[in-house]
């Protein structure tokens, strides 16, 4: 058994899994992070399920789903991932692990994967609660899937980019606040906004696509003509791709492995 385990951990995938497992344990042992990134988002998401009870109204349910997505993405993943990256950088863990045989990409995946998994678990809890409370099912599940995948890409790349301007783990509680509030606020507004008029301009703000896609998932009409005769889903699709590309490009150019002073 020992020989098998040792052989598994010397492979690139084994190293990534071993480091990711360690990161999960570190997150769970940190009471502050565990409460702020796991218990608080779950509590808020469940509270919003009852606070914004849809009573069978798909449009109202879209608001509840948007809030659940936003809190899991922004608090459960974005803030946790940023804090983890900065803490490991300041402790010189990232720099030391670059000499362990792990590729830079594998090292970042192992560091960020636990936050993503915990966030997905929160979304699974919300889904169970929604079904248990009799919430209406999505008319078109595809936009909801795109909201989850696009939201994950957004917050992961945003965490990498935010770590560039965050000198210490303690400061990450401040540097992550603006985007967290934008994702929560703009997402809710987008989930209520019509597809016509100037409302698609909301997609210029990060997180708005999550709300728009949630609305389309619950009410349908993704491919109906909206502004300028374009499909209603198109602005959200552009934003879903555009923001991760922007944050990812910034992180690729400016990411630092050495501690900041």
How far, rounded to the nearest angstrom, does the alpha carbon of residue 213 sit from its chain's CA centroid?
A: 15
Backbone torsions φ then ψ of 232, nearest 5 degrees: -60, -25
Rounded to 5°, the CA angle 105-162-40 comes to 100
- N-terminal to C-terminal alpha carbon distance within the chain: 44
pTM for this predicted structure: 0.88
Q: By mean pLDDT, which of 66-75, 95-104, 174-183, 214-223 is the weakest? A: 95-104
Backbone torsions φ then ψ of 56, nearest 5 degrees: 85, 5
Across the range 146-168, mean pLDDT stands at 95
Which residue shows structure tokens 């009471």? 31
Kindly state the percentage of the chain with pLDDT values over 90.
Answer: 38
- Asked whether the predicted pLDDT for residue 8 surpasses 50, the reply is no
- Asked whether the predicted pLDDT for residue 146 surpasses 60, the reply is yes
pLDDT tens digit string along 37-57?
778 888 888 888 887 766 668
Most confident of 3-12, 91-100, 193-202: 91-100
pLDDT tens digit string along 59-111?
888 888 999 999 999 988 999 999 999 998 998 888 888 777 778 888 888 88
The domain locations on the chain are 31-88+113-254
Across the range 194-198, mean pLDDT stands at 65
Backbone torsions φ then ψ of 231, nearest 5 degrees: -60, 145
Backbone torsions φ then ψ of 129, nearest 5 degrees: -65, -40
> Distance (Å, rounded) from C-alpha 109 to C-alpha 103?
10
Q: Distances in Å between the alpha carbon of 220 and those of 45, 217, 236, 255?
A: 23, 6, 14, 40
Q: Which residues contact 55 (CB under 8 A, 6 or more apart)?
A: none
pLDDT at 261: 66
Q: By mean pLDDT, which of 38-42, 185-189, 194-198, 206-210 is the weakest? A: 194-198
């Amino acid at each position: 058994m020992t020989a098998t385990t040792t052989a598994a951990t010397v492979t690139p995938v084994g190293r990534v899994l071993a480091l990711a497992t360690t990161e999960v344990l570190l997150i769970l042992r940190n009471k502050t992070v565990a409460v702020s990134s796991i218990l608080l988002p779950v509590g808020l998401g469940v509270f919003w399920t009852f606070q914004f009870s849809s009573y069978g109204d798909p449009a109202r349910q879209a608001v509840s789903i948007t809030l659940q997505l936003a809190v899991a993405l922004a608090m459960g993943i974005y803030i946790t991932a940023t804090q983890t990256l900065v803490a490991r950088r300041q402790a010189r863990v990232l720099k030391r692990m670059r000499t362990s045989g792990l590729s830079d990409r594998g090292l970042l995946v192992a560091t960020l994967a636990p936050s993503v998994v915990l966030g997905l678990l929160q979304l699974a809890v919300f889904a169970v609660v929604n079904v248990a409370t009799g919430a209406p099912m999505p008319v078109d599940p595809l936009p909801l899937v795109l909201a989850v995948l696009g939201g994950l890409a957004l917050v992961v790349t945003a965490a990498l980019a935010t770590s560039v301007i965050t000198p210490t783990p303690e400061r990450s509680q401040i540097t992550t606040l603006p985007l967290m509030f934008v994702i929560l606020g703009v997402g809710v507004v987008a989930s209520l906004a019509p597809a016509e008029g100037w409302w698609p301009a909301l997609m210029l703000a990060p997180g708005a696509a999550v709300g728009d896609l949630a609305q389309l998932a619950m009410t349908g009409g993704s491919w109906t003509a909206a502004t300028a005769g374009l499909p209603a889903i198109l602005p959200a699709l552009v934003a879903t791709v555009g923001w991760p590309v922007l944050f990812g490009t910034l992180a690729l150019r400016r990411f630092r492995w050495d501690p900041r002073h």
